[in-house]
Amino acid sequence: MMQTYALPAHVYACFTADAAVILDVRKDKYIGLSEQQALALYHVVKGWPEPPSIHTNLDFDRHDVDELATTLVNEDLLEPGSISDVTASRTRVPEVVNCLYNDFTARPPHISPGHCLNLLCAIAWGRYSMRRRTLEHIINRVQTRRDKYVHRPDAVDLDEMLELARIFLYLRPFFYSWTGLCLLDSLILLEFMSAYNLFPHCVFGVRTAPFSAHAWVQTGDWALNATVEVTRRFVPILSA
Instruction: Count the domains in the chain.
Output: 2
State the Cα–Cα distance between residues 28 and 129, nearest whole angstrom. Answer: 13
Q: Show which of 63, 88, 113 is a domain's final residue.
A: 88
Same domain? For 55 and 117 the reply is: no
**Residue 13 is assigned to a structural domain of this protein:** yes
Do 59 and 170 fall within a single domain?
Answer: no
| 154 lies in some domain | yes
Amino acid 88: pLDDT: 43
**116, amino acid identity:** C
Please tell me whether residues 64 and 105 are part of one structural domain.
Answer: no
Together in a domain, 104 and 82? no
Q: How far is CA 145 from CA 24, 82, 109, 173, 202, in A?
A: 21, 27, 27, 28, 13
Does the residue 229 lie in any domain?
Answer: yes
> Which residues are within 8 A (CB) of 203 and not within 5 positions of it... i.e. 6 or more apart?
93, 215, 216, 217, 218, 231, 236, 238, 239, 240
**Contact assessment for residue 100 and residue 166, using Cβ atoms and an 8 Å cutoff:** yes
Q: What is the pLDDT of residues 135-193, one digit of tens each?
A: 999 999 999 988 887 655 444 588 999 999 999 999 999 999 988 899 999 999 999 99
Does residue 172 lie in a domain region? yes
Domain match, 78 and 109 both:
no
Contact by Cβ (8 Å): 48, 42: yes
Q: Is the domain of 207 the same as that of 129?
A: yes
pLDDT at position 59 = 64
- Whether 143 maps to a domain, the answer reads yes
Q: How far is CA 189 from the centre of its chain?
A: 14
Mind giving me the DSSP string for 108-159? PPP--HHHHHHHHHHHHHHHHHHHHS-HHHHHHHHHHHHHTTTTS-TTTTHH
At 80-129, the pLDDT tens digits run: 876 544 444 456 789 999 998 766 555 678 999 999 999 999 999 999 99
Confidence of residue 4 (pLDDT cuts 50, 70, 90): confident
Q: Are residues 10 and 40 in the same domain?
A: yes
Query: Beta 45-46 vs 79-80: how paired, if at all?
Result: unpaired
Residues 58 and 115 in one domain: no
Which has more confidence, 76 or 156? 76
CA distances to 9, 26, 47, 57, 123 from 86, rounded to whole Å, are 10, 19, 7, 24, 32
User: What is the rounded CA–CA span in Å between residue 200 and residue 189?
Assistant: 9
pLDDT reported for residue 126: 97
75 and 111 in a single domain? The answer is no
142 in the same domain as 214:
yes
33, 55, 88 — which closes off a domain? Answer: 88
Alpha helix (H) residue ranges in 148-231: 158-175, 182-194, 228-231
Residue pLDDT, tens place only, 119-141: 999 999 999 999 999 999 999 99
In a domain, 32, yes or no: yes
Over residues 23-51, the pLDDT tens digits come to 999 999 999 999 889 998 988 898 899 88
> Could you tell me if 61 and 103 lie in one domain?
no
Distance separating alpha carbons of residues 191 and 189, to the nearest angstrom: 5
Whether residue 165 lies inside any domain: the answer is yes
**Average of per-residue pLDDT values in the chain:** 87
pLDDT higher than 70, residue 1: no
Whole-model pTM: value is 0.87
What is the per-residue pLDDT for 150?
A: 61
93 within some domain = no
Instruction: State the residue range of the domain holding 146.
Output: 98-239
